[in-house]
Amino acid sequence: MKTIKGPGIFLAQFMGTEAPFNNLENLCKWSADLGYKGIQIPTWETSLINLETAAESKTYCDELKGTVESFGLEITELSTHLQGQLVAVHPAYDIMFDNFAPDNYKNNPKKRTEWAISQVKNAAKASKNIGLNVHGTFSGALLWHTAHPWPQRPDGLVELGFKELAKRWLPILNTFDENGVDVCYEIHPGEDLHDGITFERFLKATGNHKRVNILYDPSHFVLQQLDYIQYIDYYHEFIKMFHVKDAEFNSTGKSGTFGGYQDWKDRAGRYRSPGDGQIDFKTIFSKLTQYGCDVWAVMEWECCIKSPEQGALEGAPFIQKHIIEATTKAFDDFAGAEVDKEKLKKILGI
């Protein structure tokens, strides 16, 4: 067993133009003052990191680490969620996902994809330079518009979709392998990797690439009505990142899984701050510890009711309370005795 590290905080949802949310130093001080021990850095935020420079310069990364560590923090992981999303975009989503790309790549899906791939590859090199061995991202999606198909999906469509998705990701995965870093896909609605079956399809399509792993966030499974506890039993060997984000699902006679195009606060399934939803984090932390998952517990704020400031304030003690110090001994060790083979035979009557 292994003790989970934490608490950490994902900075993406806290970025702003005013202090303390406007630069790395201010966010580090703010995070440390709240009791966090690590920060997860979104690489698309240029006020936090220059990804291209980080990929090329170990000196820059040492300085970046030094800044973070001066506040008593660690960098838990880098994230390329937005860039990873752009590795695979169905044309139906081109206009909306253009918001994730720099202006000079908008209205040009081919160039946008090439940029996204280069960005994620840079994250592999940057992670190595920082001394990290895991990385968080999204898979992107070519098939999501067929998740609940009408008309029905033609035979072979799903297989072709995952073949193409794997084709785009394999060069990226190989770059991560060259740099000794695992890719942890956040299993998430809207991505082609959104549950257990789709993760398995992708893993198979990549030839069981050893760098294909999971960022486990139970909130996304609540919205899908998937057993997020048993998911750990099935996939614990792949879980190498962990987001602590809560959720709830309260269906009505008017709204269920798909949400009726309503705002988040009005949906049956909605995200909440840790402790405010329905997720059994006590069992999750126990399972992850039991299976020896070597992860940081990183708070992600995406609540439709509570402010990010309050969510962050409450998140650190919530995680700290749930971290289990893994035992190094069995509770009944005191009653044991030295092993004697002849005595064992006598106990068995042989």
- Whether the per-residue pLDDT at 108 is higher than 90: the answer is yes
Residues in contact with 334: Cβ distance below 8 Å, sequence separation at least 6, in sequence order: none
Which residues are paired to 147 by β-bridges? none
- Residue 338, pLDDT score: 82
Write the secondary structure of 291-345 as one string of H (helix), E (strand) and C (coil): CCCCCEEEECCCCCCCCHHHHHHHHHHHHHHHCCCCCCCCCCHHHCCCCCHHHHH
Query: What's the chain's average pLDDT?
Result: 97
Reply yes or no: is the peptide bond before residue 154 cis, omega within 30 of 0: no
- Whether the per-residue pLDDT at 134 is higher than 80: the answer is yes
Q: How many H-runs (helices) and E-runs (strands) does the chain carry? A: 13, 10
Confidence tier at 329 by pLDDT (50, 70, 90) = confident
CA distance 226 to 176: 30
Burial class (CB in 10 A: 0-12, 13-18, 19+), 9: buried
CATH fold of the domain at 5-348: TIM Barrel (3.20.20)
CA distance 57 to 42: 18
What is the residue whose two structure tokens read 């201010």?
26
What is the residue whose two structure tokens read 């083979």?
341
CB of 168 within 8 A of CB of 204?
no
- Residue 231, pLDDT score: 98
Burial 46-75 (b: 16+ CB within 10 A, else e): eebbebbebbebeebbeebbeebeebebbb
Residues in contact with 198: Cβ distance below 8 Å, sequence separation at least 6, in sequence order: 187, 192
What is the residue whose two structure tokens read 């509570």?
306
- Residue 119, pLDDT score: 98
- Residue 304, pLDDT score: 96
Helix axes 196-205, 157-178, angle to 10 degrees: 70
What is the pTM assigned to this prediction? 0.96
Average pLDDT over residues 61-80: 98
CB of 37 within 8 A of CB of 73?
yes
Amino acid letter for position 81: H
CB of 38 within 8 A of CB of 9?
yes
